[in-house]
């Protein structure tokens, strides 16, 4: 049984952000501070609308919240007490969609980076350093390709 009334639950769910969340803002801020500025956010033209995408270098970054994207799903799904059928279908659909997006982007030559929201908040600098290394390596590859062509 849900602890909230239907109206309160509805209000809570409407407040969930799908862009410019705390985790996205933390990640983008750290990337910006490292001088990485040539990205698009929530870019609809790239499959899955990555939270951050460097289109020129084909790097797609997703900041996934643990609940919506099913972190430790096989364990956590048993913790859902109300409306189980709906939530199981919803989250398992999200997991399947994430896998399909990964497959499509990989086929298109993208490097895909997925991070859990809590990891971003706890290890922002470490994750931003990792992303910076990958993006800067892709920049060098791109420069070398354009020089030889």
Q: 């706890």: which residue's tokens?
A: 122
Each residue's pLDDT tens digit, 40-83: 999 999 999 999 999 999 999 999 999 999 999 999 999 998 88
Q: Write b or e for each residue in 35-72: b if 16 or more Cβ atoms lie within 10 A of its Cβ, otherwise e.
A: ebeebeeebeebbbbbbbbbeebbbbbbbbbeeebbbe
Neighbours of 31 (CB within 10 A): 21
Claim: this prediction has a pTM higher than 0.85: yes
- Better-predicted residue by pLDDT, 41 or 145: 41
Residue 11 pLDDT class (50, 70, 90 cuts): low
Tell me: pLDDT of 142 over 80. Answer: yes
**What pLDDT is attached to residue 17?**
56
Tell me: pLDDT of 146 over 90. Answer: no
What are the chain's domains? 18-148 (3.40.960.10)
Of the candidates 16, 23, 68, 66, which has an alpha carbon nearest to the alpha carbon of residue 41? 23
Question: Rounded to an integer, what distance in angstroms lies between the CA atom of residue 80 and that of residue 72?
Answer: 13
CA 24 vs CA 65, 81, 124: distances in Å: 10, 29, 11
């Amino acid at each position: 049984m849900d602890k909230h009334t239907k109206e309160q639950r509805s209000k809570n769910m409407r407040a969930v952000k799908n862009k410019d969340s705390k985790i996205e803002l933390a990640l983008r801020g750290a990337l910006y501070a490292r001088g990485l500025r040539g990205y698009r956010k929530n870019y609809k033209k790239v499959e899955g609308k990555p939270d951050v995408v460097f289109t020129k270098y084909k790097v797609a970054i997703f900041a996934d919240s643990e609940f919506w994207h099913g972190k430790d799903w096989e364990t956590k799904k048993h913790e859902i007490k109300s409306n189980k059928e709906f939530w199981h279908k919803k989250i398992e659909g999200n997991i399947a969609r994430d896998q399909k997006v990964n497959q499509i982007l990989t086929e298109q030559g993208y490097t895909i980076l997925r991070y859990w929201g809590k990891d971003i908040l706890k290890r922002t600098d470490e994750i931003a350093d990792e992303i910076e290394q990958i993006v800067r390596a892709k920049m060098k590859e791109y420069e070398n390709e354009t020089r030889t062509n």
